[in-house]
Amino acid sequence: MESLLEAVSLLVGGDRETWWTIATSVRFSLWSTVFAVIPGVPLGAALFLGRFKGKRAAVALVNAVMAVPTVVVGLFVYSFISRSGPLGSLGLLYAPGGVVLGQAALAFPLVAAMSYTGLQKLDPRYGETLLTLGAGPWRRLAAIIREGRYVITQATLAAFGRVAGEVGVSMMLGGNIRWYTRTMTTTIALDASKGEFERALSLGFVLLALALLVNFLSHLAVRDGR
Amino acid sequence: MRLIAKRGALRAAAVCAALLAASAQAFAMGGKEAAPAARPAPANPRVRLATTTSTENSGLLSYLLPFFTEDTGYTVDVVAVGTGAALKLGENADADVLLVHARALEDAFMAAGHGAERRDVMYNDFIVIGPAGDPAGLEGSPDAKAAFARLAASGASFVSRGDKSGTHVKELDTWKAAGIAPSGSWYKEAGQGMEQCIIMAEGLQGYTLSDRATYVALKDKTSLAILFDGDPVLFNPYGVITVAPSKNPAINADGAKAFLDWLTSERGQGLIASFKLEGQTMFFPNYKP
Amino acid sequence: MDAEAVFEVAGLSFRYERRVAASCASLRVRNGESVAFVGPNGSGKTTMLKLMNGLLGPFDGSISFMGRPIAKNPELRRRSVYVHQHPVLFAGTVRDNLAYALRLKRFGAAEAEARLEDAAERFGIACLLDREAGRLSGGETQRVAVARAVAAGADVLLLDEPTSSMDSEGDAAVRSMLAGLRRSGSTLVFSAHDESLVRELADRVVRFDMGRAIAGPGGETE
What tens digit of pLDDT does each residue of C7-62 get? 999 999 998 877 888 888 889 999 999 999 999 888 889 999 999 999 987 899 99
Alpha-carbon torsion, ordered C163, C168, C174, C176, to 10 deg: 130
Q: Is the pLDDT of residue A2 over 80?
A: no
CA distance C204 to chain B (A): 34
Tell me how far apart the alpha carbons of residues C163 and C159 are, in angstroms, rounded to a whole number.
10
Q: Is residue A101 part of a domain?
A: yes
The answer to whether residue C145 neighbours chain B at the CB level (below 8 Å) is no
Provide the domain count of chain A: 1
CB of C85 within 8 Å of any CB in chain A? no
CA atoms of B202 and B223, how far apart (whole Å): 7
Q: Which amino acid is at B79?
A: V
Chain C residues closer than 8 Å to B5 by CB: 91
Instruction: Say what angle helices A184-193 and A149-165 make with each other, to 10 degrees.
Output: 30
Question: Omega before B142 cis (within 30°)?
Answer: no
Q: Is C190 helix (H, G, I), strand (E, B) or coil?
A: strand
C222 CB near a chain B CB, below 8 Å? no
Kindly state which CATH superfamily the domain B46-124+237-285 is placed in.
Periplasmic binding protein-like II (3.40.190.10)
Domain coverage including residue A75: 25-182
Q: Which residues of A are less than 8 Å from B24 in CB distance?
A: 27, 30
pLDDT exceeds cutoff 90 at B97? yes
Residue B8's pLDDT is 46
> How many CB contacts within 8 angstroms connect chain B with chain C?
13
- pLDDT above 60: residue A47: yes
- Distances in Å between the Cα of B215 and the Cα atoms of A199, B2, B81, B91, B274 are 21, 63, 18, 30, 19
Give the gap in angstroms from C-alpha B11 to the nearest C-alpha of chain C. Answer: 18
Q: Of B39, B42, B116, B51, nearest to B77 (Cα)?
A: B51
In a domain, A190, yes or no: no
Report the largest interatomic distance among the alpha carbons of chain B, rounded to a whole angstrom: 85
- Judge whether B212 and B194 are in contact, CB under 8 Å: no
For chain A, what percent of residues have pLDDT higher than 70? Answer: 98
Tell me the per-residue pLDDT of C80-135, one tens digit each, with 9 for 90 and over.
999 999 999 988 999 999 999 999 998 999 999 999 999 999 998 999 999 999 89
Beta strands in chain B (DSSP E): 46-52, 75-81, 97-100, 115-130, 158-160, 187-189, 207-211, 225-228, 235-243, 276-277, 280-281, 284-285
| Burial state string for A145-182 with b = 16 or more CB within 10 A and e = fewer than 16 | bebbbbbbbbbbbbbbbbbbbbbbbbbbbbbbbbbbbb
Give the CATH number for residue A147: 1.10.3720.10
Predicted pLDDT of residue A1: 66
Mean pLDDT, rounded, for B132-154: 93
Residue A147 forms part of a structural domain: yes
Domains B46-124+237-285 and B125-234 share a fold: yes
Domains and CATH numbers, chain C: 5-215 (3.40.50.300)
- Please give the average per-residue pLDDT across B161-167, as a whole number: 83
At B200-210, the pLDDT tens digits run 999 999 999 99
Q: Right CATH number for B125-234 from 3.40.50.1000, 3.40.190.10, 3.20.20.70, 1.10.40.30? A: 3.40.190.10
Nearest CA in chain B to A171: B79
Per-residue DSSP letter, A172: I
Between C161 and C216, the higher pLDDT residue: C161
CA distance C54 to chain A (A): 8
Q: How many CB atoms lie within 10 A of CB C109?
A: 10
Give the residue among B275, B238, B276 at the shortest CA–CA distance from B49. Answer: B238
Average pLDDT of B86-110?
93
Q: Indicate whether A100 belongs to any domain.
A: yes
What's the CA gap between C152 and C149, in Å, rounded? 5
Average pLDDT, chain B: 85
What letter would DSSP give residue B87? H
- Domain locations in chain B as residue ranges: 46-124+237-285, 125-234
Prediction ipTM score: 0.89
